[in-house]
Amino acid sequence: MMLAPKHDVKLIIGDLSAQIGEEAIYYSTTGKEAFHQKSNENWKRIIHLAASRNMVIGTTLFPRKDIHKIAWRSPDAHHFSQIDHLLIDSLHISHLMDARTHTCADVDSDHFLLVL
């Protein structure tokens, strides 16, 4: 197994299908700005991955209006979710200035554009 040097910034970005809630016990990994009140089943995998790799979930760190937190819209446009996430090395968290979605970007998808 090849290891990346500590000074390299490590990111995991994508549709992780995890709805991260506001469980206070995980604030050191998730932050306090989640869109959902309660987590779904996939959040445990993301929390354990982030904690085991000394990473932080960057999409739940910044205070934003809900419209800038949602990353997915159902085809009927009645359900919204924050399931696209960014994980970043906790050593490099100060390099992350912002993480939000742009709902007006036309990317021909039911997901919104995640901008860092």
pLDDT band at 10 (very low <50, low <70, confident <90, very high): very high
In a domain, 98, yes or no: yes
Could you tell me the residue range of the domain that residue 36 belongs to?
11-115
- Flag whether 75 is in a domain: yes
Inside any domain, residue 5: no
Please tell me the predicted confidence (pLDDT) of residue 1: 63
| Integer CA distances (angstroms), 97 to 54, 62, 74, 100, 105, in order | 19, 9, 29, 10, 20
Average pLDDT of the chain is 89
> Each residue of 69-113: pLDDT tens digit?
999 988 898 999 999 999 999 999 999 998 888 888 777 888 888
Asked if residue 76 belongs to a domain, the reply is yes
Q: Is residue 68 a part of any domain in this protein?
A: yes
In the chain, the amino acid numbered 89 is: D
Residue 99 lies in a domain: yes
Residue 28 lies in a domain: yes
